[in-house]
Amino acid sequence: MKDFKMQIAEKIAEVTSIDVNEIKGYIEIPKDANMGDYAFPCFSLAKSLRKAPQMIATEIKEKIDITDTDIETVEIAGGYLNFTISKDELAKVVLEEIALKNEEYGKSDIGNGKKIVIDYSAPNIAKPFHIGHLRSTVIGGALYNIYKYLGYTVTGINHLGDYGTQFGKLIEGYKLWGQEYNIEENPIEELTKIYIRINEACKQDEQVLENCRNNFKKLEDGDKYCTEVWEKFRSLSLKEFKKVYELLGSKFDSWNGEAFYSDKMPEVIDILSKTGRLVESQGAKIIDLESEGINTPCIIEKSNGSTTYATRDLAAILYRARTYDFDKALYVTSYEQVLHFKQVFEVAKLLGLDEKYAKGLEHVAFGMVLLPTGKMSTREGNVVKLEELLNEAISKVKEIIEEKNPDFTQGEKQDIAKKVGIGAVIFNDLSGSRIKDEIFDWDTMLNFNGETGPYIQYTYVRTNSVLKKAGYLPEIKDIDFSRLTDKEAQNVLKLIYSFTNIIEQATVKNEPSVIARFLIDLSKAYSSFYNENKIIVEDKAIQDARVYLTHATNLVLKNGAKLLGIDMPEKM
Ligand code: ARG
């Protein structure tokens, strides 16, 4: 697609002899459309040209030659030069690209040849899949789709928490009282009960605790009974987790959890020992990171000889570097793990891998999920079952649909309720910048007129009705682009034009909210266009152009939502 910003940059570069890419980097899109389509802040050159911004602006304006370009006007405003682009040309460029690419509009290949590993979701087996894991699942899943759309080779990994001394305890509890609990039916709840009970027993009886420790050791050594029971816990938990993944449409390429690395840790310890940085401290093996500016040491092996969460992450880095040869490895967890990843990423530099791997490690942290009543956390006891929560979203929407569209069939109502209910939860998760705490409030996220998932879906459905009412899609060669020069149509076009760039921005900061924001802006812009203009009109040329713009909006809303993991209902 034509790059208008580049056209402007080239023209400015011609008359200033400053590098065109440097110029391009300075060009902004003014918030207020009255200030033009693009603005060049002349003060960014004041230093290198040794002139006042105002003077630079005057000189560029005098010298610049815009014949044979799509630049229509150049105006001076303070130290800025404001440019407008031909409105017809914008419409032509955008709609022709839509006609050419259809469902693939906005796709790019800038990621070709680059490999990204995304570690997300990662609930802990035999424990509830909590709302923090939901956020990780949704953010990680969106990043997965976004990177793929830009041509990267992406591997999604569910680094399940399926390892640790607690399994020694669970195995013991199961051995003692397994018959009393229906863990097949309700694995997580029943295992949690067993876990609480065995912990009590351990406090009462030193021997029980000893048995638990032995079980974990046996598990590590591949003991048949312990391994069987552990596998049972794992597969029952996974069965439960998959209900949530099914509802959210989550996909993973690898389910290698922490246990997968149990035989890969000795190598880590070996490599670290040889660096001379691994030291003994109160019986444990640690790496002091004071000199790297991290005050808490990274514990590699506990005093009882067992490995840690950090060691498993280090083994995973070795494995992933060798297996996936990643350019970037993202870890999507709440900000509570900031210190953990700082330590692990620092120690990773000592693993003897090529520098590029340590450089590619990145913690994509996000804020807490807050219920209107406070923090949702399993530790504080107010466990929210995710599957129930998602089903609640679906049934709430179903009620609304029953009321609004009683004559839809049951099947239609169910399909819409699922897409809108789940879409609302996902959008709520992604709409603010990820590091901000998220407020989980049904009324806000299900408001069809707010900045919500349902609002975007509703706008999409509206474009569907317009297209249905028109009953045809005009051919692109018949479109008279000069019919789309009104302010509202131009706003829609500018947004659609920016789509690829928006997707790229989302990857620069690993911030799906950039796309969420875009979808809200596009929905609002289309609503204004729709309110200001009749689309089905006498004048065929006007109608064709407006119908085509509606078609373009329809495609982009659907593609954009899909990147976030949100499906569009065809009606609602
Ligand atoms: N299971 C961990 C938790 O629930 C998250 C794992 C994140 N990934 C990783 N490679 N450490 O907190």
- If you compute the radius of gyration of the chain from its CA atoms, what whole number of angstroms results? 28
Listed in sequence order, the residues at least 6 apart from 239 whose beta carbon sits closer than 8 Å to its beta carbon are 187
Best CA proximity match to 244, nearest among 447, 394, 366, 457: 394
**For residue 561, how far is its CA from the centre of ligand 1 (angstroms)?**
27
Does 122 sit in the ligand 1 pocket, CB within 6 Å? yes
Best CA proximity match to 174, nearest among 148, 195, 146, 201: 195
Listed in sequence order, the residues at least 6 apart from 62 whose beta carbon sits closer than 8 Å to its beta carbon are none
Best CA proximity match to 95, nearest among 546, 439, 467: 546
| CA separation for the pair 106, 505 (Å, rounded) | 13
Does 128 sit in the ligand 1 pocket, CB within 6 Å? no
Does 313 sit in the ligand 1 pocket, CB within 6 Å? yes
Quote the tokens at residue 74: 């150049």
| CA separation for the pair 344, 159 (Å, rounded) | 15
Burial 486-522 (b: 16+ CB within 10 A, else e): eebbbbbbbbbbbbbbbbbebbeebbbbbbbbbbbbb
| CA separation for the pair 290, 297 (Å, rounded) | 7
| CA separation for the pair 211, 209 (Å, rounded) | 5
Listed in sequence order, the residues at least 6 apart from 203 whose beta carbon sits closer than 8 Å to its beta carbon are none
**For residue 136, how far is its CA from the centre of ligand 1 (angstroms)?**
10
| pLDDT mean by block of 10 residues, the chain; 572 residues | 96 94 96 91 92 94 95 94 97 98 95 98 92 94 98 98 92 96 92 94 95 92 94 95 96 97 96 97 96 97 90 98 98 97 98 97 95 53 76 95 95 97 97 93 92 98 98 97 97 97 97 98 98 96 98 98 98 94
**For residue 158, how far is its CA from the centre of ligand 1 (angstroms)?**
9
Does 124 sit in the ligand 1 pocket, CB within 6 Å? yes
Question: DSSP labels for 269-327?
Answer: HHHHHHHT-EEEETTEEEE--GGGT--SPEEEE-TTS-B-HHHHHHHHHHHHHHHH--S
The amino acid sitting at 19 is D
Sign of the torsion formed by the C-alpha atoms of 191, 193, 196 and 201: negative
Query: Looking at residue 385, what is its pLDDT?
Result: 78
Quote the tokens at residue 126: 């035999």
**For residue 120, how far is its CA from the centre of ligand 1 (angstroms)?**
8
Query: Looking at residue 378, what is its pLDDT?
Result: 41
- Nearest CA owner, ligand 1 atom 1: 161
> How do strand 153-157 and strand 115-119 relate by DSSP bridges?
parallel
Does 161 sit in the ligand 1 pocket, CB within 6 Å? yes
3-state DSSP assignment of residue 363: strand
**For residue 184, how far is its CA from the centre of ligand 1 (angstroms)?**
25
Task: Identify the bridge partners of residue 497 per DSSP, sorted by sequence position.
Answer: none
The answer to whether residues 133 and 160 touch, using CB atoms and an 8 Å cutoff, is no
The number of C-alpha atoms within 13 Å of 167 and in the hemisphere containing its C-beta is: 24
The answer to whether residues 137 and 246 touch, using CB atoms and an 8 Å cutoff, is no
- Nearest CA owner, ligand 1 atom 11: 313
- Nearest CA owner, ligand 1 atom 5: 122
- Nearest CA owner, ligand 1 atom 7: 122
Does 429 sit in the ligand 1 pocket, CB within 6 Å? no
Does 544 sit in the ligand 1 pocket, CB within 6 Å? no
**For residue 333, how far is its CA from the centre of ligand 1 (angstroms)?**
7
Burial 466-476 (b: 16+ CB within 10 A, else e): bbeebeeebeb
Neighbours of 225 (CB within 10 A): 12
| CA separation for the pair 530, 541 (Å, rounded) | 17
Atom of ligand 1 nearest to the CA of 340: 11
Query: Looking at residue 380, what is its pLDDT?
Result: 45
Does 159 sit in the ligand 1 pocket, CB within 6 Å? yes
**For residue 83, how far is its CA from the centre of ligand 1 (angstroms)?**
49
Neighbours of 126 (CB within 10 A): 25
Atom of ligand 1 nearest to the CA of 316: 10
The pair phi, psi for residue 49, each rounded to 5°, is -90, -10
The answer to whether residues 473 and 547 touch, using CB atoms and an 8 Å cutoff, is yes
Does 240 sit in the ligand 1 pocket, CB within 6 Å? no
Q: Which of 255, 314, 333, 363 to mutate to test the pocket of ligand 1 (most atoms within 8 A of CB)?
A: 333
Query: Looking at residue 382, what is its pLDDT?
Result: 53
- Nearest CA owner, ligand 1 atom 8: 159
Query: Looking at residue 379, what is its pLDDT?
Result: 42
Does 507 sit in the ligand 1 pocket, CB within 6 Å? no
Listed in sequence order, the residues at least 6 apart from 369 whose beta carbon sits closer than 8 Å to its beta carbon are 131, 132, 134, 135, 375, 376, 437, 438, 440
Atom of ligand 1 nearest to the CA of 334: 12
| CA separation for the pair 351, 361 (Å, rounded) | 13
The answer to whether residues 267 and 300 touch, using CB atoms and an 8 Å cutoff, is no
Q: Which residues are part of the catalytic machinery?
A: 127, 130, 133
Quote the tokens at residue 535: 């689309």
**For residue 316, how far is its CA from the centre of ligand 1 (angstroms)?**
12
